[in-house]
Chains A and B, each alone.
Chain A
């Protein structure tokens, strides 16, 4: 009945990979934020799975902090986007190019 732990770990690694790839490939900043969220949630899944496999609550504690941090990160990001939007028209990463590199 129950799904074995390593499957969850594989799923989490897969999600983390999708997030990382998306972050590097996609150009829309909001999509990039979603990718960051995806990566952090993959981490959460990993924590919870290990927590269950090891029968230790420490991993689940960590999830709380990761959740809060993810929210704070995205909110600061949105704030910066709003500030940039006010100055210029577009909001894709390609528009943000007056700094080289």
Chain B
């Protein structure tokens, strides 16, 4: 060890041989750590909220009264939103202020924007969890504590100014999500989902932090600004270690945002985990992962842009293409939404690939609008699936238009939004993202994005069409299904075998009856053939089952969330305040 000095805090250095401390902190023999408390308010609100819930659950009698935990969580989420907006006002467009806790956190527009996003997701997630947990007999303080700490980790990721802080945020977020995924204790699939998520997520975390270690070794700094200033001053002739580190970091974060080919955990986890938590997770984990990725790539590694842009190009293309195509053949609603969210991640990656300020703002807008759409969608799936998550297949939405027109209308808007139909925020989101890559002359990527959207529109519209099928079909003897295969078009023709014996491959005695009946009732309209195109024979039968007979009960808080999500999806699609807000983000780098 030769004598080196190192920085302990701003303006304070210590010689590691003599132990001599010099700089600002010598004044009173103490280290002066500058802390910008306004920047930390989201952490105090979210972390404090989690601790208050935990402490109250310890001292209050069990089950104090319904909605207390959810209410506290919603309050903490609202506090985060308000504080994010206040931060936004105070920052007033000033950009780089890497500030607080020994330069570990940024205090900037981007952080404030994402704090608002995570606050919104917390409010919505807690509000829709309340009714779900009550229905499943799972209510307790734990999910809310986990949700708050997850949001804390997400804000930390968005604010991180170095790899260690990013890793810490990533892990706080991920570990909370592992436990949330496994929370449904009566459902075997939930435990499995948690376990799978944990093992694969830990692998991703290890890969990420190994990448960070390699970048540290190559540049001598764990802080983004340290990395970028080192790379600006030194031309690396052998940057294999740096490139390896960058690739590993991209892989690790790509895992978290479920980009193909690192997506394979996501359908299983989405299918198994409790539905409202999935909605929350889809919004928060993705946004936080992208916030981290944005900062790492745009802020720390802009000099390697020529290397990482092709990587992101590949990830974006694969995600859009495979996400859309694989979603086509899913009959489980939550699995389908998992693949849909993979393809949505692809669009965000398209925006990131542009590598410009315009692209970053497009990404921010996309993520913000997607938060509302995905939480609203999963809120509706959560109420439709019935107790014990009994019905997750496509047929759970069948006939919703006549059973519960409002819910069907809400689902329709959210589906159209995710499909990117004009007059919804999803359209505007895809538009700005594709505009950003077009600005960079990436015509192929823009084309792939548009084609992917066309494919994706099909499976979103399938859900919408199934909602408008009549809920019940008059029972008819076997034979009607032949009509189905006859009118089935390409989808039915490729299914192989053909459902000539009523409900094929199905052991349920009722299957042949209703499959046949359904086939007869709609054989003239081709509607059924359209909604089941691309599914295998068995899945087709599943998708056309009659819906559950139970009345759909929507808890008030869930209904409010759904309403807000729908209104926001339309509002952000037909007017521009949200878009101009995202476009006003002052970026902490000069791009």
Direct contact of A and B (CB under 8 A): yes
Residues of A within 8 A of B (CB): 9, 16, 19-20, 23, 29, 32, 36, 39-40, 42-43, 46-47, 49-50, 52-59, 61-62, 65-66, 69, 72-73, 76-77, 79-81, 83-84, 87-88, 93, 96-101
Quick check: A32 and B209 within 8 Å, CB to CB? no
Per-residue contact bits, chain B 180-192, to A (CB 8 Å; 1 contact, 0 not): 0010010011011
Is A40's CB under 8 angstroms from B175's CB? no
Which of A20, A29, A73, A97 has the largest number of chain B CB atoms within 10 A?
Answer: A73
**Given A56-B6, A80-B195, A101-B264; 20 other pairs, CB 8 A cutoff:** A19-B206, A32-B199, A36-B206, A39-B206, A47-B216, A54-B217, A56-B4, A65-B168, A69-B171, A69-B205, A72-B175, A73-B175, A73-B202, A73-B205, A96-B192, A96-B196, A97-B192, A98-B188, A99-B192, A99-B193
A87 touches B188 (CB 8 A): yes
Question: Per-residue CB proximity of B190-218 to A under 8 Å, as 1/0?
Answer: 01111110110011011101101110110
Please name all residues of chain B whose beta carbon is closer than 8 Å to the beta carbon of A46 when the two chains form the complex. Answer: 210, 213-214, 217
Which residues of B are found within 8 Å of A56, using beta-carbon distances? 4, 6, 220-221
Chain B residues with Cβ below 8 Å from A96 are 191-192, 195-196
Q: Are B179 and A69 neighbours in the complex by a CB distance under 8 Å?
A: no
**Cα A52 to Cα B182 with chains together (Å):** 41
Q: Which of B210, B220, B268 contacts A16 (CB 8 A)?
A: B210
Decide if B220 touches A54 in the complex (CB within 8 Å). Answer: yes
18 chain-A/chain-B pairs, Cβ below 8 angstroms: A16-B206, A20-B207, A23-B203, A36-B203, A36-B206, A62-B209, A76-B198, A77-B199, A80-B178, A80-B179, A80-B194, A87-B188, A93-B199, A97-B192, A98-B189, A99-B196, A100-B268, A101-B264
Q: A69-B171, A83-B185, A98-B188 are in contact. Are A77 and B198 (CB under 8 A)?
A: yes
Once the chains are docked, how many angstroms separate the CA of A54 from the CA of B212? 15
Cβ–Cβ < 8 Å partners of B207 in chain A: 20
Q: Which residue of A lies closest to B208 (CB)?
A: A43
Q: Which residues of A contact B16 (CB under 8 A)?
A: 55, 57
Q: Of all chain B residues, which has the CB nearest A23?
A: B203
Check if A62 sits within 8 Å of B195, measured CB to CB: no
A99 touches B191 (CB 8 A): no
What's the nearest-Cβ distance from chain A to residue B214, in Å? 7
Chain A CB within 8 A of B306 CB: no
User: How far is A55 from B15 in the complex, measured between Cα atoms in Å?
Assistant: 11
| Chain A residues within an 8 Å CB radius of B264 | 101
Alpha-carbon distance A6/B398, docked complex (angstroms): 62
Picked from B1, B6, B199, the residue with its CB within 8 Å of the CB of A36 is B199
Nearest Cβ on chain B to A37's Cβ, whole angstroms: 9
Instruction: Say whether B182 contacts A59, CB under 8 Å.
Output: no
Point out the residues of chain B lying under 8 angstroms from A101, CB to CB: 264, 267-268
Assuming the contacts A32-B199, A57-B6, asked whether A88 and B188 have C-beta atoms less than 8 A apart, the reply is yes
Taking a contact as CB atoms under 8 Å apart, the answer to whether B213 and A47 are in contact is yes
Instruction: Pick the residue among A55, A69, A97 that contacts B2 (CB under 8 A).
Output: A55
Complex Cα spacing A87 to B189, Å:
11
The 8 tightest CB contacts between A and B, nearest first, are A50-B217, A39-B206, A46-B213, A55-B4, A99-B268, A84-B191, A69-B171, A36-B202
| Number of A-B residue pairs with CB-CB distance less than 8 Å in the complex they form | 133
Residue B49 is within 8 A (CB to CB) of chain A in the complex = no
Query: Contact between A84 and B192 (Cβ–Cβ < 8 Å)?
Result: yes
Closest to A77 in B: B198
- Which A residues touch B192, using CB under 8 A? 84, 96-99
A50's partner among B164, B198, B213 (CB-CB below 8 A) is B213
Instruction: Give the residues in chain B near A62, CB-CB below 8 Å.
Output: 163-164, 167, 209, 212-213, 216, 222
CB distance from A31 to the nearest CB of B (A): 11
Q: In chain A, what residue has the closest Cβ to B195? A: A80
Give every chain A residue within 8 A of B209 (Cβ-Cβ).
40, 43, 62, 66
Is B385 in the interface zone, CB < 8 Å from A? no
Q: Is B271 an interface residue (CB 8 A)?
A: yes
Q: Is B386 an interface residue (CB 8 A)?
A: no
Whether A61 contacts B191 by the Cβ 8 Å rule is no
Q: Which of B213, B217, B220 is packed against the most chain A CB atoms within 10 Å?
A: B213
Complex contacts, B196 vs chain A, CB 8 Å: 96, 99
User: Which of A9, A29, A73, A93 is close to B217, meaning CB atoms less than 8 Å apart?
Assistant: A9
Q: How far is the CA of A76 from the CA of B203 in the complex (A)?
A: 15
A88 to B185, CA, bound (A): 12
CB distance from B52 to the nearest CB of A (A): 21
Question: Is B47 part of the binding interface, using a Cβ–Cβ cutoff of 8 Å?
Answer: no
Instruction: Write out, one digit per residue, whether chain B residues 264-305 have a CB within 8 A of any chain A CB (1) or not (0).
Output: 100110011000000000000000000000000000000000
Of all chain A residues, the one with the shortest Cβ separation from B220 is: A54
- Distance A100 CA – B189 CA, assembled complex (angstroms): 10
Residues of B contacting A97 with CB < 8 Å? 192
**Residues of chain A with a CB closer than 8 A to B178's CB:** 76-77, 80
Q: Which residues of A contact B203 (CB under 8 A)?
A: 20, 23, 36, 39
Which residue on chain A has the smallest CB distance to residue B244? A13
Task: Chain B residues near A32: list those with CB within 8 A.
Answer: 199
Q: Hey, which chain A residues are within 8 Å of B198, CB to CB?
A: 73, 76-77, 80
Q: What is the CB-to-nearest-CB distance from B300 to chain A, in angstroms, rounded to a whole number?
A: 14
